[in-house]
Structure 1
Amino acid sequence: MTSFAEIIDRTTADELRARGSWKWAKGGPGVIGAFVAEMDFGVARPVEEALLGVIERRELGYLSQRASDAMAAACARWQRERYGWEVDPERVRPLPDVITGLAAAISVFSRPGSPVILPTPAYMPFLTWPATLGREIIQVPMAADGGRYVLDLDGIAAAFKRGGHLLVLCNPSNPVGRVYGAEELAAVAGVVEANGGRVFADEIHAPLLYPGGRHIPYASLSEATARHTVTGTAASKGWNLPGLKCAQLVLSNDADAVLWAERGFTFEHGTSTPGAWAAAAAYRDGGDWLADVVGYLDGSRLLLAELLAARLPEIGYRPPAGTYLAWLDCRGLFAARGIEENPADFFLERGRVLLTDGAACGDAGQGHVRLNFATPRPILAEMVRRLADAVNGR
């Protein structure tokens, strides 16, 4: 029987380009797309069947209560069985995407006009979206601890003192791949409570954890975190469904549920019906496919370390504990080779690999790039070869 890895490894770059996705089309002919966070692995069979059912039923209208309820029940069950978090399905609300969840957290649950507190490096839209709502962002660069990123609790406390009210907490972290433990999360909660703050917990990458990792929903820690948190999540990363426009906002206290009932409709509008059924199928029946994906990605994150060590040892890379995103520190490499260009621009122009510019992830990301390794391993190897050849002038 052909294994999942064998099927994926047979997928070629030409096949991926032929699909016409933005990931593979944006860079132009011959460019390897490794920037946007989606996988090159297709989707789980239960998700395919759910989408075929939507077509057969001609259920392509606005989101129905039935579809929304199925999605909410499946998400609540996933939270309970995977993470031990008891969630009322009625408090799992539909959203088009997690960015809409951030907009809701800012508009509905944060103090009017208050700055948004953002640990950086951070997911790129988190640095741009608050400004569209008239909000300042207070960047709090993460601290380095033995080569890994940790949250700067003193910096977060200072940001609250400057008037910040909503803290954006991304766990697992995009782009650095940290998975925060109970002690770290409890320390964050202490700072938030001491300053009367709120938290938007972005947990969209939670299904993508590697051996030894454990996801702890921040709102599940205590009555205090349940009281001051709204959580954004989705099946879109774990099951590769970003184009289906469906996410979930989890409300974890009575007051927020009441406020959402009054003001939440505009944020829920636009959630896709096919997306809701696909998410329900993923949460309910997609566990085996997800296990295959995580197993493959586990090998790929370690392979990337081997490839970089062999070809570009000056690049700093720590395999992530979660996500399929590699955070590469190019500062030492570029300084040693006398390269003054922006790393993302350099690798696109010279290596024909499209990466995410680390500077787009905040001031702390200068000199870095984000690389998506959720691609067939032969393509990953070709990607690193191109990066090395670009640096070596070939």
Structure 2
Amino acid sequence: MAEPHEGLIVDRTDEQLRATGAIKWAAAPPGVLPAWVAEMDFAVAEPIARALHEAVDVGRLGYGPPDEVTGVPEALADFAADRWGWHPDPAHIVLAGDVVEALARVITTLCEDAPVVVPTPAYPPFLEVPAHTGRRLVTVAHDPDALRATHDLEAIDRELAAGARTLVLCSPHNPWGRAFTREELTALRDVADRHGAMVLSDEIHAPLVLPGHEHVPYATVAGPESRYVTLTSATKSWNMPGVKCAQVICTNAADADRVRAFPLHPTQSSLGTAATRAAYRDGRDWLDAVVERIDANRQLFGKLVAERLPRVRMRPLEATYLAWLDARAYGLGSPGAVALERGRVWVDHREWGPGGEGHVRVNLATSPERVEQVVDRLALAWESA
């Protein structure tokens, strides 16, 4: 029986992927299988490709247009209402280049000049942004031995009581692959609200929650006194990180005006706004096909890891296409470096902060054949060490 969205996902060959010049494959030496940075190995969705061709044909290559004429805020609001029952006000949505830049802009414009709490392990750029805004970074580690990541609410409460006033929430979580429940987010909200802290919720992976789980927007658990901003982008879910167009979803017009007035030229690109509008409006079937593929790959990957990497502990993957592997049992120091040197497979082994030592992140947005090759190369590297 055919899959509901069979034919929408087009796997590109190694040669095609290297020819794109995109970092995942272009940075990998010959003979190295890249499975690190968050780029998919699929051809771009047809509605997005069509929108980009049309934009180039009419010469839409100038600076990014004003938010209100792009159609992106309205497209995002419709998508959020359809997928999650959340109805953000398009007038409160501000465009930016990417989520990392948007995070820095929001911290600078809306957050108190006080320490910023980042739960770890964390997406590495989030550990660098606070210093660039003149704030001190405070990390609160998840328990690396826990099977499912949960926030250490007592530790976060202590840091906020000690003077921190901003909390960076990654939901769904990267690199843990968690889709936090409503109960978990409500408990986190209670801690933040008790101290009047601003919660900056990175929800860029929200469209990539896998079957059996759901995305709960932080905005839907926030109370009337809660302080929060949601940051997102279509670039991860529709595989177009090179076209710049993130969205900052504020809670009121005054905050949106402050973020929009940040003294930079518009950092979203004209092509990015065209691609993003097409993704939210016309790319839903392609997205559903991607989720089906990732779900199949996570099952295959989990089976192969259990068979061929018996000392690895794989966290349940609930969202994203990025598997999080605990390889500490091999005692390798840097399992990612060993994988690259001995197995010729490049898994992500950047600095994730406290709690991330001995772990690697593996990209599963690829063909089933490459998923098996990744596991075989990891086994070659780690099991023979």
Scaled by the length of structure 1, the TM-score of the pair is 0.92
CA distance in 1 between partners of 2:178 and 2:383 (Å): 31
**Hey, what's the Cα distance between the residues in 1 that align with 2:11 and 2:24?**
19
Deviation track 1:203-246 (CA, whole Å, cap 9, x = no partner) reads 00000011122111102223437x40111001001101100011
Q: How does 1:70-219 map to 2 (within 5 A)?
A: 70-112=71-113, 114-143=114-143, 147-219=147-219
Q: Within 2, Cα distance between the matches of 1:164 and 1:68?
A: 37
Following the alignment from structure 2 to structure 1, what is the Cα–Cα distance between the partners of residues 68 and 373? 42
* 2:271 partner amino acid: P
Paired residue for 1:353, among 340, 345, 349? Answer: 345
C-alpha separation between the residues in 2 aligned to 1:220 and 1:86? 9
Q: Tell me the distance in 2 between the aligned counterparts of 1:74 and 1:61.
A: 22
Matched residue type, 2:277: A
2:267 corresponds to which of 252, 255, 270 = 270
What's the counterpart of residue 322 of structure 1? 319
Matched, 1:292 2:294: no
Could you tell which deviates more after superposition, 77-86 or 173-182? Answer: 77-86
Give the secondary-structure state (helix, strand or coil) at the position aligned to 1:174.
coil
Give the superposition deviation at 1:258: 4.4
Q: For the structure 1 residues 7 and 223, does the alpha-carbon distance in structure 2 shift closer, same or farther, using more than 3 Å as the test?
A: closer
Query: Cα distance 1:161–1:149, how it changes in 2: closer, same or farther (>3 A)?
Result: same
Higher helix fraction: Structure 1 or Structure 2? 1
Q: Could you tell me which amino acid in structure 1 is paired with residue 262 of structure 2?
A: G
Aligned counterparts of 1:41 and 1:246: Cα–Cα separation in 2: 20
1:362 aligns with 2:362: no
Alpha-carbon contact 2:67-2:95 (below 8 Å) kept: no
1:283 matched residue in structure 2: 280
Quote the offset at 1:260 in angstroms: 3.1
Q: Give the whole-Å Cα distance in 1 for the aligned partners of 2:294 and 2:257.
A: 41
In the other structure, the counterpart of 2:56 is 55
2:276 is paired with a residue whose SS is helix
Residue 11 of structure 1: how far off its partner (Å): 3.6
Q: Secondary structure at 1:122's aligned position in 2?
A: coil
Aligned-pair Cα RMSD in Å: 2.1
Matched AA of 2:202:
D
Give the whole-Å Cα distance in 1 for the aligned partners of 2:232 and 2:381.
38
- Post-superposition offset of 1:2: 9.0
- Scaled by the length of structure 2, the TM-score of the pair is 0.94
Aligned with 2:360: secondary structure? strand
- Secondary structure, counterpart of 2:224 in structure 1: helix
- Cα deviation, 1:106-141, whole Å, max 9, x if unaligned, reads 1011112x1110111111100112222222211111
CA distance in 2 between counterparts of 1:38 and 1:371 reads: 11
Identity %: 42
Aligned length: 384
SS of the residue corresponding to residue 143 of structure 1 reads: coil
Q: Which 4+ residue blocks in structure 1 deviate beyond 4 angstroms?
A: 1-10
Q: Is the 8 A contact 1:171 1:206 kept in 2?
A: yes
Match of 1:311 in 2: 308
**Which blocks of at least 5 consecutive residues in structure 1 are unaligned?**
none
Q: Which amino acid in 2 is paired with 1:264? A: F
| 3-state SS in 1 of match to 2:355 | helix
1:357-389: per-residue Cα shift (whole Å, max 9, x none)?
15x111210010111111111011111111111
- 1:37 partner SS: coil
Q: Structure 2 CA distance, aligned partners of 1:62 and 1:5?
A: 37
